[in-house]
Amino acid sequence: MVAAHVLDARDAEGHLTWHRWLVEGRASALFAVLAGVSLALMSRRTNAAGLAVRALLVALVGLALGELDTGLAVILTYYGLLFLLGLPFLRLRARSLFACAAGWVLAGPVVSQLLRPHLPVRGAASPAFDQLAHPLRLLSELLLTGYYPCLTWLAYLLLGLAIGRCDLRSRSVHTGLVLGALAAAVLTFVVSRALTEQAWVLRRLLPDAGAYGDVSTADAFVDAISGGMHGTTPAGGSWAWLLVVAPHSGTPFDLAHTGGSAALVIGLCLALVARLPAPSARAAAMAFGAGTATLSLYSLHVVMRTEPVWPDEVPASFGRHVLVLVALGAVLVAARRRGPLEAVVSTASAAVSRWTTARHDPGCEDPTEASQPGR
C-alpha cells in the first residue's frame, strides 16, 4: 500500500516500474479480502448490530481523511460500506461463500457495465463530508463509479469471508489456498492477455487510438492500462473491456486475478507461520504487527502524506513510512495493545452488541465475554 502511494509509477524512460506492477491493484485487493477474513472472525463474538456500528465508524474515519489534501484515493468509506454489504452473508458456510464470490466476480462487473452509463461521474478521488449533502450521488459513487466500487468489490469481501470460515490452522487449507489461488491468478492473467492481443478485441477497445495517445499495438495498450484505471472501465465503453486485466478496472479478469493474488498471500503467510516454532512465531507477530492496527496505521499514513506533516512527499520517503508503521505495529504487539482507532471502534461495537443481545434475550451470555483475555 505504501509503495503504491509513495514510489514512482514509471521510470525515467516512461516504463512501468517493477514495484508498481507488483503492488498496483493487488495491495488494495488484499486489503479488501482481509476485510472479509476479519468480518468472519469478528462475527464469532459480535452480532450484526455491533458489526454495523463498526462499519459506520470506519466509514466516518474515511470521510474525515477525505477532507485532507493528500492526492490519495482513501479506501475507508468504501471499506465501511463493504462491511455493511457483507452482513447478509454471515450465516453462509465456506463452500457457499466461495461459490458466491465466484458468481459475483462474473455478475458484479456486468451489472456495473449496465448501470454506470446512467449515473453521474464521481465527484472526487476520496469521499468527504461535503458529499453527504447529496446522499444518492455519494451512494452511487461508493457502489459503482468510485475508485473502489463496492458493487464489484463485494467479490473480494465474499472471498475473504469464505477464507475466514475455513479452519485457518489446517495445513490442507493452507495448501488448497496456495494452489487454488496461484492457479486462478495465473490462468486469468494469461487468458486475459491472450484475448487482449486479438485484433477483434483491440478494434473494440480502441475505436479511436488517439484516446491513448499513439497506442497502436497490443503491447502499447497493455502498458497504457497497467498503471491502473481508477476504479472502473470507461462508462459506456465496449463490452470487450470486460476481457482486460488491469489494476482497478473491476473486470471479471481483474477481480479473479487480484483476488487470487490476495488469497495466495494469505495462504503463504498462514503456511509459513504454522511451521514456525513458538518463539519465532512471536517474533513474526511483532515484525508484522502493523497488521493488527491497520485502521490506525493506515490513517496515520494518509496524514503523513499531507504536505505539512513529516516526511516530505518524495519517493525517497518510502523507507520512513514503512519504518514508522512497522515500528509502531511492533510496539503495539509487544505491549498487547490495540491501535487507538481500533480501541474506539471495538469499544463502541462491543457496547452495541451487548445492548442488542441483552434487549432481545436478557438471559443470554454477553457475546463479547468469550473474547476477553483470560476467558
Cβ(254)–Cβ(246) below 8 Å: yes
Band (pLDDT 50/70/90 cuts) for residue 218 is confident
Picking from 10-24, 166-180, 291-305, which range would have the lowest pLDDT averaged per residue? 10-24
**Which backbone phi and psi does 16 adopt, to 5 degrees?**
-65, 130
The secondary structure of 104-134 as a DSSP string is HHHHHHHHHHHHGGGSPPPS-SS--GGGGGS
pLDDT tens per residue, range 257-270? 999 999 999 999 99
61-71 pLDDT, tens digit each: 999 999 999 98
Distance between CA atoms of residues 145 and 147, nearest Å: 7
Per the CB < 8 A criterion, the answer to whether 313 and 75 are in contact is: no
Over range 126-141, report the average pLDDT. Answer: 94
Domain count, the chain: 1
pLDDT band at 197; cut points 50, 70, 90: confident
Domain of residue 40 covers 2-11+18-371
